Amino acid sequence: MLLKSIFTNSSGILVSRVLGFVRDLMTASVLGANIYSDIFFVAFKLPNLFRSIFADGAFTQAFIPSYAKSKHKIRFSSIIFLQLFGFLIVLSLLVMAFSHLVAKAIAIGFDEKSLDLAAPLFAINFYYLPMIFVVTFMGALLQYKKHFATSAYSTALLNLAMIGSLLIAQNMEKYDITFYLSYGVLVGGFLQILVHLYAVKKLNLCKIFHFKKHEKKEESRFYKNFFSATFGSSTLHISAFIDTWLASFLMSGSISYLYYANRIFQLPLAIFAIATSIALFPMVARAIKNKEEDKALRLMKKSALILFALLSISTFIGIFFNDLIIKLLFERGQFTASDTQNTAFILSMYLIGLLPFGLAKIFSLWLYANEQQFLTAKISMYSLGTNVIFSLILIKPYGAAGLAFAGTIGGFVLFFLTIKAFGFKRFIEMFRKWC
């Protein structure tokens, strides 16, 4: 069951990431690495940050344990959906109304002209956030029913929509292309909602607005775990966001270099680590709930060994063939040989942290399953703090590459503290006991 679920998630993520690379290839060719690509990526960064946090498990890690323990599941899920969806709609309207201020806060290094160009894109792209919450909510219900395929493969629809927008707009002015890309993001979100609605209806999970008497502590417990899990799962994505923010002070194109390098870094992380954690979490949570600690540890050991091998190979290939990878993927059209060199070096800095980030995801599941979300949040805070400190130290001498390496240092801190919380003794005994 574990390997089957991992394969389902991995194959779905792989399809999405392949299409994502096609999208990035086209974006690099059509826009290149300049102010126009920078303003689109920075506008897309904020909703995509939250999308990544939601989709990579923060919501699910809090929702599934609370949903499983809820006495009135339909009422509980309805309240959570309405509260969070309503909040995100209001937030999106505020971003639209104050888009210039939001752009100034996120891309603080941009000049006034660049901010004027970026502001409308912020307003459009942010509406993707409430859309992806709807998708994630329905995906959590499906995951509870051990249905992974829809969520795994539906992410490809976002990339298809953006590819379609690039094909339509490829001969237009660069600034006009950024608008087509932004509306493509919204179309992709709408398509994801449609396929999830179909799957939810097929599994007879549509009764989410049927209200019954419930205990308020059910939703209180969820929010307590949710906010902690959100921060605990967000380290890598907040790190990338900080990179973008600080890179706005650097030369034009730096944001794009970081984006393209991070996209490649995220591929093995998503295909192997995230796919494994999505499949593993319900099994570990169920085993711990049933007092079957040995079973949970066996599952985690098996997953950790698989990840160690796959991520080590990915790191080796990525670092030693970084220039070739970037050249083959992006060096065409407006993307020059100089852009390739800059992006390849940044990629190597990211890849050094691939293994610790991936393994940290596996062992953090033990903490989530034991409802220690607040502890994972504290660990993430220390990791993020380390990242910020080293980003400020390394940005001046090493530029964008320094920002990437600062994130890697934060990844090693995250892994060390996660293992410490899991228990060094338990960690050693786990591998010794089932060798």
- Per-residue pLDDT tens over the stretch 233-255: 666 667 767 777 788 788 777 88
The larger pLDDT score, comparing residue 94 to residue 250, is at 94
Q: Is the pLDDT of residue 213 over 60?
A: no
Question: What b/e sequence results for 239-256 when a residue is b if at least 16 CB atoms lie within 10 Å of its CB, and e otherwise?
Answer: bbbbbbbbbbebeebbbb
Query: For the residues 103-118, what does the mean pLDDT come to?
Result: 79
Q: What is the DSSP string of 317-357?
A: HHHHTHHHHHHHHH-STT--HHHHHHHHHHHHHHHTTHHHH
* Torsion sign over Cα 295, 297, 300, 306: negative
Q: Report the percent of the chain where pLDDT is more than 90.
A: 27
Q: Is the pLDDT of residue 279 over 80?
A: no
The larger pLDDT score, comparing residue 74 to residue 94, is at 94
Q: Is the pLDDT of residue 423 over 60?
A: yes
Give the pLDDT of residue 38.
80
Render pLDDT for 166-177 as a digit per residue (tens, 0 to 9).
899 888 888 888
Q: Is the pLDDT of residue 210 over 70?
A: no
Give the pLDDT of residue 174.
84
Query: For the residues 282-304, what does the mean pLDDT come to?
Result: 83
- How far, in Å, CA of 192 to CA of 178, rounded? 21
Give the pLDDT of residue 282.
73
Query: For the residues 404-421, what does the mean pLDDT come to?
Result: 94
Pick from 401, 414, 384, 398: nearest CA to 347: 401
Tell me the two tokens of residue 207. Answer: 């009764």
39, 100 contact by CB (below 8 A): no
Which amino acid is present at 255?
I
Q: Report the percent of the chain where pLDDT is more than 70.
A: 87
Coil, strand or helix: which one is 264?
helix
Q: Is the pLDDT of residue 345 over 80?
A: yes
Q: Is the pLDDT of residue 206 over 80?
A: no
Q: Is the pLDDT of residue 53 over 80?
A: no
- Which of 51-55, 59-63, 128-132 shows the lowest mean pLDDT across its residues? 51-55
142, 197 contact by CB (below 8 A): no
Cα angle 213, 218, 224; round to 5? 150
- How far, in Å, CA of 337 to CA of 335, rounded? 7
- Average pLDDT over all residues of the chain: 83
- How far, in Å, CA of 58 to CA of 185, rounded? 22
Give the pLDDT of residue 349.
96
Render pLDDT for 119-178 as a digit per residue (tens, 0 to 9).
888 889 889 989 988 888 888 888 777 777 787 788 889 889 999 998 998 888 888 888
- Which of 177-191, 205-219, 355-369 shows the lowest mean pLDDT across its residues? 205-219
Query: For the residues 214-231, what does the mean pLDDT come to?
Result: 67
Query: For the residues 250-270, what does the mean pLDDT come to?
Result: 85
- How far, in Å, CA of 96 to CA of 126, rounded? 8
Q: Is the pLDDT of residue 359 over 90?
A: yes
Tell me the two tokens of residue 121. Answer: 């894109």
- Which of 191-205, 281-295, 395-409 shows the lowest mean pLDDT across its residues? 281-295
Q: Where are the alpha helices (DSSP H) in 56-155?
A: 58-69, 73-97, 99-106, 112-125, 128-144, 149-154
Give the pLDDT of residue 55.
53
The larger pLDDT score, comparing residue 78 to residue 301, is at 301
The larger pLDDT score, comparing residue 338 to residue 374, is at 338
When pLDDT is cut at 50, 70 and 90, the band that residue 54 belongs to is low
When pLDDT is cut at 50, 70 and 90, the band that residue 49 belongs to is low
Give the pLDDT of residue 431.
79
Q: Is the pLDDT of residue 212 over 60?
A: no
427, 418 contact by CB (below 8 A): no
Query: For the residues 301-307, what does the mean pLDDT come to?
Result: 90
Pick from 55, 228, 218, 200: nearest CA to 141: 200
- How far, in Å, CA of 12 to CA of 151, rounded? 8
- Which of 137-146, 293-302, 375-384 shows the lowest mean pLDDT across its residues? 137-146
142, 148 contact by CB (below 8 A): yes
The larger pLDDT score, comparing residue 39 to residue 164, is at 164
When pLDDT is cut at 50, 70 and 90, the band that residue 44 belongs to is confident
Token pair 């890697």 is found at: 408
pTM to 2 decimals? Answer: 0.71
Q: Is the pLDDT of residue 20 over 90?
A: no
